[in-house]
Chain A
Amino acid sequence: MLCQECGKRPATLHFTKIVNGEKNEFHICETCARERGEMLPGTSGGFSIHSLLSGLLDFETAGKGMASSVKTPQSLRCEECGMTYTQFSKIGRFGCSSCYKYFGDRLDPLFKRVHGNTVHVGKVPKRSGSRIQLKRQIDDLKLELQRRIQQEEFEEAAQLRDRIRTLEKEMAGQ
């Protein structure tokens, strides 16, 4: 097969691009590929993670028939930077940190798909984060408390309950 760009050299690079179910095949030779890719390494091809993401997001908004209950209102937008959900789903990037707040739980399916999770469990900032650390500690203790109660270890459970109360007071005081 000859290169579809120059029509002279044999095509050695083959790739398929599928956009909205429309399939396009490309067959080009090394030299033409290199000429096209004269830009910086890593930026060639123009197919970035963002375009992949917007594919995922489009699915969210385009899923009219099947999931009308989660249909995003056209008006949903970030009050801080003005980015609309529709824009976000095209670009695949947020405009500012408040977008997370304004788009809220509507982002859960996206995070679920990308990360398999929706809630952060890692590092928290030291200065502003002590409240979060406390909250995580309390959540852990509550789980432990449930376990103890189920196993009828009431003495330990009572101790845990007291510790949880102390921590909760501490959190309320902050």
Chain B
Amino acid sequence: MPNLRFTEKALSEWMRGTASDSDIVISSRVRIARNLQHMPFPLLATRQQSEEVLNRLAQVAETPNLKSLGTFYTVKLDEIEPIDKRVLVEKHLISPSLAGESQNGAVMISEDESVSIMINEEDHLRIQCLYPGFQVREAWEKATAIDDLFEAEVDYAFDDKRGYLTSCPTNVGTGLRASVMMHLPALVMTQQINRILSAVSQVGLTVRGIYGEGSEAIGNLFQISNQITLGQTEYEIIDNLHSVVLQIIEHEKNARARLMNDSRLRITDRIKRSYGILSYAEVMDSKEAGQRLSDVRLGIDLGIVQGPSIPVMNELNVMTQPGFLQKKYGHDMNSEERDIYRARLIRETLAKA
């Protein structure tokens, strides 16, 4: 029986923690892509080869060094239900592509869910560390330490000139993707967001929706990450992201202060309306939920809403996703049904908070 503890609760243990600037930066994530030598990438690997990769890497997880970092649970994607895959994606523990199209795909997840090690995704090995708040440096430290542990046991595909070799040319070199998830409602309301986001893309960073590539920004949540992986050191990549995020935090804080100064009544009204609607509505689609939850989160940050805490809002962001809703209520739903259950879940959660 595969281990399904990770799909039961919406809130990962790591999300409970609060960290610096966690009002604006929700989470920090670092992902390192690695491949084994003399083995075709998952794209071309035969079933037997991908199984070999899985066994090799799962063996490393059994070594004392990795165990010293805590308990890891291995989940084989073939052995779990589609709904559980979806929940793992919604919790950011695996990527959509590992859930959707992997062969012999697996993930090793740490007890507190802050580390997930994906096997046979687009690359043989993807090490991901996910931390609350603005801790991109800490996440990198952890990820590179885990990378060292794997490197001690297996031979990576590495080239003097190109660095760590990856299946996609956009990851080659460091194989590093560092990203932060930011909640930027005031920059959206004051219509400064596009200007800032286009400035961000000028300095080698990119902005995506919360579920990565190709997803849209829901609930004023933006994921900012490095675009370049070749020709910069990991330190430079992390540092560049760090300093740009610091500036965006500053802009968002200023925009919030200005909003409260210039239009306190309108903002307070908007936030309380959203809080009221979430507390009483019978039907709620995901887009509206995203927007209203963003308003309430802002309300908590500004001291306008008392009651629900930021971890509760983090939990609601995950719980209101389609996969988790269906998991929680135990049956398939069409989108109309989901909207009804979503509204119910939000009502009940806020009533308890």
> What chain B residues lie within 8 Å of A97 (beta carbons)?
35, 37-38, 41, 157, 159, 165
Q: Are A120 and B230 in contact (CB under 8 A)?
A: yes
Q: Are A123 and B168 in contact (CB under 8 A)?
A: no
Q: Is A40 interfacial (CB 8 A cutoff)?
A: yes
Which B residues from 180 to 231 make CB contacts under 8 A with A?
204, 209, 211-215, 228-231
Which A residues from 97 to 121 make CB contacts under 8 A with B?
97, 100-101, 107, 110-111, 114-121
Q: Is A129 interfacial (CB 8 A cutoff)?
A: yes
State which of A16-24, A61-69, A87-95, A141-149 sits at the interface with chain B: A87-95
Q: Are B231 and A121 in contact (CB under 8 A)?
A: yes
Q: Are A94 and B169 in contact (CB under 8 A)?
A: yes
> What chain B residues lie within 8 Å of A34 (beta carbons)?
335
Q: Are A47 and B214 in contact (CB under 8 A)?
A: yes
Which A residues from 19 to 42 make CB contacts under 8 A with B?
30-31, 34-35, 39-42
User: Contacts A39-B100, A42-B215; is A122 near B163 (CB within 8 Å)?
Assistant: yes
User: Contacts A111-B172, A120-B162; is A96 near B39 (CB within 8 Å)?
Assistant: yes
Interface size bracket, B side: 35 or more
Report the minimal beta-carbon distance from B229 to chain A, rounded to whole angstroms: 7
Query: How long is the Cα–Cα vector from A94 to B214 in the complex, in angstroms?
Result: 21
> What chain B residues lie within 8 Å of A172 (beta carbons)?
none
User: Contacts A43-B100, A100-B165; is A123 near B144 (CB within 8 Å)?
Assistant: yes
Report the minimal beta-carbon distance from B157 to chain A, rounded to whole angstroms: 3
Report the minimal beta-carbon distance from B165 to chain A, rounded to whole angstroms: 4
State which of B18-26, B65-73, B89-97 sits at the interface with chain A: B89-97
Report the minimal beta-carbon distance from B147 to chain A, rounded to whole angstroms: 8
Q: Are A117 and B231 in contact (CB under 8 A)?
A: yes
Q: Are A107 and B169 in contact (CB under 8 A)?
A: yes
Contact of A114 among B86, B163, B170 (CB under 8 A): B170
- A residues near B (Cβ < 8 Å) are 30-31, 34-35, 39-45, 47-50, 53, 80-81, 83, 91-97, 100-101, 107, 110-111, 114-129, 132, 135
Known: A120-B159, A122-B174. 7 other contacts (CB 8 A): A41-B321, A42-B212, A43-B97, A111-B169, A115-B172, A123-B147, A128-B158
Contacts A/B (CB < 8 Å), 29 sampled: A35-B335, A41-B90, A41-B96, A44-B214, A48-B214, A49-B213, A81-B44, A91-B43, A92-B168, A93-B41, A93-B168, A93-B169, A94-B41, A94-B43, A94-B165, A94-B168, A96-B41, A97-B37, A100-B159, A100-B172, A116-B231, A119-B230, A119-B231, A120-B160, A121-B231, A122-B237, A123-B144, A123-B164, A128-B156
